[in-house]
Structure 1
């Protein structure tokens, strides 16, 4: 019995500490209200440390994984199955939320007094795609606002390193740098309980009352959908990836990334925790170090869910009927595109929201309406995004390595830990 308690504590010690710190922070925010904002700098320090570390982490992990991969056929197989997995899971999420908003229209009975908004800059779709994939200066690659261009650069750089052949010093150097950055992240995470507790205290203190406003119905719809999607869809995906062992292994290790994503509201900030969790799940190094960084920017089932909720909400607010195959297809396309152009950081959803307003022809006053919804749904959306990256890495491994991958890799990992 004591041994079991010790095992539970060993496996879940850090997530439990994080939960307690967030609960304490939330209580402080409720009690002190806006006065709790004074704690925000302590939370900002943690987020800033994570964000500054993530950019070099993404480069060295992806470039190192691709650079050490002599078998380019395997790389192509990983990337092909990665995009297939992202599209299929995104489509499933879009169908789920379409059914839900048709059954329970989020704007039913909601009366919002719209204030005149400022004129929005027009969003040209082609320019948005170009800007999402490329930058016009090397220095811009070093910004967390340009994660997709950095990922593409890292893949190309890694491919060039790999083309030099086996045993080249650059590949070994990138691998060593990857280990250094993970150690660096581990040191930062020691501050996480203080940082996240303070961040949540200020968050609840400043914005908590808004949760009881006119958007309550949309939240009542969205939060349960995210919870059900997490448990039902991810159970299905993990079962496909590794059977019953896959489900057990996934949920045993996903608590840390789930908590971190909810607290930071950032897929990028959760990336280091996700890398550690998927390593314990037995996902091979090259797959997790390619799938997770790309997934933190491109694989956003939670964003798909929230985008269609926002579109349906606006249709209801402006008295338009949200129906018709053309509208459904456009909504799905915009929601998946929104997931692709997101940068994986808090506030990144503003791009997708501007796309919704401009492409559907809503007036500028619509922007602050869905921007508010975007903020309120951000915690569960980010949680689904981040934890979805982990299960996607398991699915990609299943597609690349075959049905028996999990048993083999988990046993190998277990023997390494025991030795």
Structure 2
């Protein structure tokens, strides 16, 4: 229990700080206005790290991935699955949200003016910048991500010279992560103060709405976990694959709930994959990649955040907004969710891409912090499903997990 609490320490402190800030804002609005500058200072410190964080982290990750291009088919399947599974998760959230909208009827007003990109977005301006200087602004975060991906591919293909640049990027990434860890120590105070000011002018019913939205995510994630996981395993090998998955998934699922980290759960996930009878040559390559790229849970919560913020701001959710939401969900799952230490990058990415006021960030942080555990569990169990599918299409078979002979059991325990 102590270890679990330690893993959730930062999230617990953050939720407590936001709760205190919300209480102060609703009860003592005059005090909330006075402490707002503290929150603004914290957010500005964080914003100043976004460009180097995204540029360096994404280029470094992509450069390493291209070293695996010789594995061709496995890598291609990992990429395809990492695009499709988040799309399915996002569409599941959108579908259930159409059936039940917990934020319906709630309207929030912000002091800061904004121009929502829904219904009037300029696609060219979203994915590109007119010059290099434009990439150095958080307003062009999507263009920066795209250029970083291209840069990472170029580094990976540059041979020995690229390896030197990749090493420098790794060192720079370590420094940036340390810088962010220092700034993040101020997160409870900074976001608590900022949220106090946000709630000072809001309807107290908004608190109840938060609870309803979070409850909806838990229900949606449970539905997706049961039905989508079963469907993915069926694609991988029918009834035997389904039985194998449900027999072996509990240990990595429980570990992910306890650690709240796909990477921390990776050793247990690999162990479970071996018990399922998956080929070592496939799982040892695919699972580490999937842990960084395939994040259906991240896509699902990113989608809910967009739907929530659209509703409370009264932005129409039309076809254009739907496509933008799906794009945000997939990018969040593949890139944003895989950036280590980028605790609020997902929220910042959503707000800047949609052209929303910064006051929306603490609201999205609440949703992300409380739903982090089930989202991580979805990420981890979907990695097992994905590995099953990759093995099927790569044509490598091993004995099924039902083989419980002493020799096989010894092999799985090593």
Summarize the Cα distance change of 1:273–1:348 in structure 2 as closer, same or farther, 3 Å threshold. farther
> How much does 1:337 deviate?
0.7
Distance 1:328 1:340 in 2: 19
Cross-structure match for 2:287: 292
Is 1:126 aligned to residue 123 of structure 2? Answer: no
Cross-structure match for 2:82: 86
Cross-structure match for 2:212: 217
Aligned to 1:417, which of 406, 409, 412?
409
TM-score for the superposition, normalised by structure 2: 0.62
Summarize the Cα distance change of 1:346–1:83 in structure 2 as closer, same or farther, 3 Å threshold. closer
Summarize the Cα distance change of 1:262–1:213 in structure 2 as closer, same or farther, 3 Å threshold. farther
Summarize the Cα distance change of 1:408–1:101 in structure 2 as closer, same or farther, 3 Å threshold. closer
Summarize the Cα distance change of 1:337–1:262 in structure 2 as closer, same or farther, 3 Å threshold. same
Cross-structure match for 1:141: 170
Summarize the Cα distance change of 1:343–1:100 in structure 2 as closer, same or farther, 3 Å threshold. closer
TM-score for the superposition, normalised by structure 1: 0.61
> How much does 1:123 deviate?
4.0
Distance 2:289 2:146 in 1: 16
State the SS of the aligned residue for 1:124: helix
Summarize the Cα distance change of 1:114–1:253 in structure 2 as closer, same or farther, 3 Å threshold. farther
Aligned to 1:331, which of 319, 325, 329?
325
Is 1:359 aligned to residue 353 of structure 2? Answer: yes
Q: Specify every segment of 5 or more residues in structure 1 that has no aligned partner in the other structure, as ranges.
A: 1-17, 35-58, 148-205, 207-211
State the SS of the aligned residue for 2:316: coil
Instruction: Work out whether residues 292 and 338 of structure 2, in 8 Å CA contact, stay in contact via their aligned partners in 1.
Output: yes
Choose 224-233 or 102-111, whichever is displaced more. Answer: 102-111
Summarize the Cα distance change of 1:213–1:266 in structure 2 as closer, same or farther, 3 Å threshold. farther
Cross-structure match for 1:249: 244
Summarize the Cα distance change of 1:322–1:125 in structure 2 as closer, same or farther, 3 Å threshold. same
> How much does 1:278 deviate?
0.7
Distance 1:234 1:272 in 2: 20
State the SS of the aligned residue for 1:125: helix
> How much does 1:87 deviate?
2.1
Is 1:383 aligned to residue 377 of structure 2? Answer: yes
Aligned-CA RMSD value: 4.2
Instruction: Work out whether residues 300 and 385 of structure 1, in 8 Å CA contact, stay in contact via their aligned partners in 2.
Output: yes
Instruction: Work out whether residues 342 and 348 of structure 1, in 8 Å CA contact, stay in contact via their aligned partners in 2.
Output: yes
Distance 2:401 2:293 in 1: 26
Q: Specify every segment of 5 or more residues in structure 2 that has no aligned partner in the other structure, as ranges.
A: 17-60, 114-136, 156-164, 178-191, 193-206
Distance 2:111 2:356 in 1: 14
Distance 2:303 2:221 in 1: 13
> How much does 1:248 deviate?
1.6
Summarize the Cα distance change of 1:346–1:370 in structure 2 as closer, same or farther, 3 Å threshold. farther
Summarize the Cα distance change of 1:416–1:387 in structure 2 as closer, same or farther, 3 Å threshold. same
> How much does 1:128 deviate?
2.3
Cross-structure match for 1:264: 259
Distance 1:97 1:282 in 2: 32
> How much does 1:137 deviate?
5.3
Alignment of structure 1 residues 387-398 onto 2, 5 Å: 387-398=381-392
